[in-house]
């Protein structure tokens, strides 16, 4: 899948923009607050239907306007198609060649996008939410069906939480089963993803850190002691069900489901110690960089081509050695990428002969 053209209307501070992205690097240069991240966010929304930054979708609409629209022509093995996403106060709507989509399979066909922004650099240091988000988005890139599966889980979770708040144990029981079923499916996805990613993270980390570097490890920590390492979907579901049973009194008291994929964590380690407390700042950043490279490598092998890459201001945040590693790695990839920086010089090494430069100023 290659993005041939991109049109943005009333998206954050961008009133109207039409771009012809490079088949390789499209480089956006501009001062602070001009709209570089907004443009990347528009591309990310188009490719994933998810917001890049936390917050509500409606915030994407340009102040004073009713709706934002992002559309793009993608060329792939099966020909080219136009996909578009429209956002307003009621939510978002996706179309393929002008037709509304109920099921999003044909929308996501062949699409995958990985974004790397300065916020990601604190992935190791911060709470589990960011790491769950990494897992979920990586799983969704890898298997688009995860979108529907995650939605089903969230629906089941909300229903069970409502039942818990109603504090009627008999009612809760009928909501537990769908939650356990949807939860087991997500757990299985995460396990498969980690199986694929772990050796790639280790390899990338070793390469970034050079000889004598400590070994990096990824361990899934299931809330309530949930063991992810073995068993099929039914067994995982049975284990999750037992934990929920055991915690029922507590969950009823709090009105909240305290175990399941929405509470789990991905524990990153260095030489078998928790990297969150033990690793240096530079090592933590090297782990994040390794996670991103591993995800890209994994998609590249699984899908037969690299995902669309979005790098927001990363070069100014990484030290020169890690930045060099990243840009050299990117140069080896036959990937389409959007990169931003305030200083053009930072991205010269990533440019290549096919690069297109845009200057971003006041949303134009
Ligand atoms: P930096 O180099 O500092 O990261 P940037 O070029 O990435 O800057 P953006 O994050 O893209 O800047 O933001 C540009 C501007 O968009 C901000 O000044 C912000 O106030 C404005 N903005 C954000 N949301 C909206 C919106 N819904 N409508 C209009 N403007 C908005
Ligand atoms: Mg920015």
In CATH, the architecture of 1-112+307-364 is: 3-Layer(aba) Sandwich (3.40)
DSSP designation for 77: T
C-alpha–C-alpha distance, residues 359 and 364, integer Å: 8
Could you report the per-residue pLDDT of 38-91, keeping only the tens digit for each?
A: 999 999 999 999 888 878 899 999 999 999 999 999 998 778 999 999 999 999
Closest to 150 in 3D by CA, of 165, 133, 164: 133
pLDDT at 265 over 90: yes
Token couple for 118: 């300065």
Distance 78 CA to ligand 2 centre (A): 35
- Whether the per-residue pLDDT at 170 is higher than 90: the answer is no
Q: How far is the CA of 197 from the centre of ligand 2 (A)?
A: 28
Q: What pLDDT sits at residue 352?
A: 82
| Alpha carbon nearest to ligand 1 atom 12, residue | 33
Q: What is the pLDDT of residue 172?
A: 83
24: confidence class by pLDDT, cuts 50, 70, 90: very high
Percent above pLDDT 70 for the chain: 99
C-alpha 28 – ligand 2 centre gap (Å): 10
- Position 156 scores a pLDDT of 96
pLDDT beyond 80 at 168: no
Residue 78 pLDDT: 77
- Predicted pLDDT of residue 6: 98
Confidence at residue 4, expressed as pLDDT on a 0 to 100 scale: 97
Q: Is the pLDDT of residue 225 over 90?
A: yes
Ligand that comes closest to the CA of residue 38? 1
- Pair 343, 32: CB distance under 8 Å: no
Name the strand (E) or helix (H) holding 292: helix 281-303
pLDDT digits (tens, 9 = 90+) for 277-292: 999 999 999 999 999 9
Q: 169 pLDDT exceeds 80?
A: no
Q: What is the pLDDT of residue 346?
A: 85
Q: Provide the pairing of β-strand 308-312 with 113-116.
A: parallel
Closest-lying ligand 1 atom to the alpha carbon of residue 65: 28
Q: How many CB atoms sit inside 10 A of residue 189's CB?
A: 22
For residues 167 and 321, give the distance between their C-alpha atoms in angstroms, rounded to a whole number: 56
Per the annotation, binding residues for ATP are: 30-37
Q: Which helix (H) or strand (E) holds 173?
A: helix 169-209
> What residue ranges do the domains of the chain occupy?
1-112+307-364
pLDDT of 351 strictly over 90: no
CA of 59, closest atom in ligand 1:
27
- Residues 315 and 307: their CA atoms lie apart, in Å, by 20
Ligand 1 near 117 CB (within 6 A): no
- What tokens were used for 180? 């356990």
Which residues line the annotated binding site? 30-37
Ligand 1 nearest atom to the CA of residue 61, by list position: 27
**CB of residue 38 inside a 6 A radius of ligand 1:** yes
Cα 363 to ligand 1 centre (Å): 8
Q: Probe ligand 1: pick from 14, 28, 32, 34, max atoms within 8 Å of CB? A: 34
- Ligand 1 binding pocket includes 317 (Cβ within 6 Å): no
| Distance (Å) from CA 315 to ligand 1 centroid | 19
pLDDT at 174: 87
CA-to-CA separations, 150 to 86, 181, 323, in angstroms, rounded: 22, 11, 34
- CA-nearest residue for atom 9, ligand 1, is 35
Residue 15 CA to ligand 2 center (angstroms) comes to 17
pLDDT digits over 308-326, tens only? 999 999 988 889 899 999 9
Ligand at minimal distance from the CA of 115 is: 2
Question: Looking at the DSSP assignment, which residues form a beta bridge with residue 339?
Answer: 27, 311
pLDDT tens digit string along 115-147? 999 889 999 999 999 999 999 999 999 998 998
Report the nearest-CA residue for atom 16 of ligand 1: 13
Which stretch of DSSP H or E encloses residue 48? helix 36-48
- Mean pLDDT value across the chain: 94
pLDDT at 167 over 80: no
Mutate to test the pocket of ligand 1, among 32, 33, 36 (most ligand atoms within 8 A of CB): 33
- The residue whose CA is least distant from atom 24 of ligand 1 is 12
Least confident interval from 5-9, 28-32, 193-197, 352-356: 352-356
Asked if residue 67 has its Cβ within 6 Å of ligand 1, the reply is no
Q: Is 101 in the pocket of ligand 1 (CB under 6 A)?
A: no
Q: pTM for the complete prediction?
A: 0.93
Is the CB–ligand 1 distance for residue 37 below 6 Å? yes
Q: What's the pLDDT score for residue 171? A: 78
CA distances in angstroms from 326 to 44, 76, 315, listed in the order given = 20, 27, 9
Q: Is the CB of 34 under 6 A from ligand 1?
A: yes
């Amino acid at each position: 899948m290659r993005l041939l053209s991109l049109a943005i209307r009333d998206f954050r501070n961008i009133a109207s923009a039409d771009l012809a992205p490079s088949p390789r690097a499209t480089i956006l240069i501009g001062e602070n607050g001009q709209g570089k991240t907004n443009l990347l966010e528009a591309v990310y929304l188009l490719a994933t239907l998810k917001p890049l930054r936390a917050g509500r979708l409606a915030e994407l609409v340009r102040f004073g306007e009713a709706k934002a629209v992002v559309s793009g022509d993608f060329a792939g093995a099966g020909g080219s198609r136009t996909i578009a996403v429209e956002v307003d106060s009621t939510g978002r709507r996706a179309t393929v060649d002008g037709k509304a989509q109920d099921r999003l399979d044909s929308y996501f066909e062949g699409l995958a996008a990985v974004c790397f922004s300065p916020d990601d650099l604190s992935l190791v240091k911060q709470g589990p939410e960011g790491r769950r988000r990494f897992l979920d988005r990586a799983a969704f890139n890898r298997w688009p069906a995860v979108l529907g599966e995650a939605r089903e889980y969230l629906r089941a979770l909300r229903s069970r939480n409502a039942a818990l708040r109603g504090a009627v144990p008999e009612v809760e029981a009928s909501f537990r089963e769908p939650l356990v079923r949807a939860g087991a499916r997500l757990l299985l996805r995460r396990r498969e993803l980690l199986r694929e990613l772990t050796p790639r993270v280790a390899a990338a980390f070793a390469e970034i850190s050079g000889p004598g570097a400590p070994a990096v490890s990824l361990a899934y920590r299931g809330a309530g002691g949930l063991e992810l390492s073995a068993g099929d979907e039914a067994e995982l579901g049975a284990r999750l069900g037992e934990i929920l049973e055991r915690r029922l009194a507590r969950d009823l008291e709090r009105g909240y489901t305290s175990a399941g994929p929405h509470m789990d964590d991905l524990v990153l380690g260095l030489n078998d110690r928790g990297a969150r407390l033990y690793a240096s700042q530079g090592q933590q950043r090297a782990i994040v960089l390794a996670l991103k490279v591993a995800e890209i490598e994994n998609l590249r092998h699984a899908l037969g081509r690299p995902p669309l890459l979005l790098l927001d201001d990363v070069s100014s945040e990484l030290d020169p050695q890690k930045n060099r590693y990243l840009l050299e790695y990117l140069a080896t990839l036959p990937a389409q990428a959007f990169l931003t920086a305030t200083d053009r010089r930072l991205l010269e090494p990533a440019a290549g002969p096919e690069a297109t430069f845009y200057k971003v100023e006041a949303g134009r």
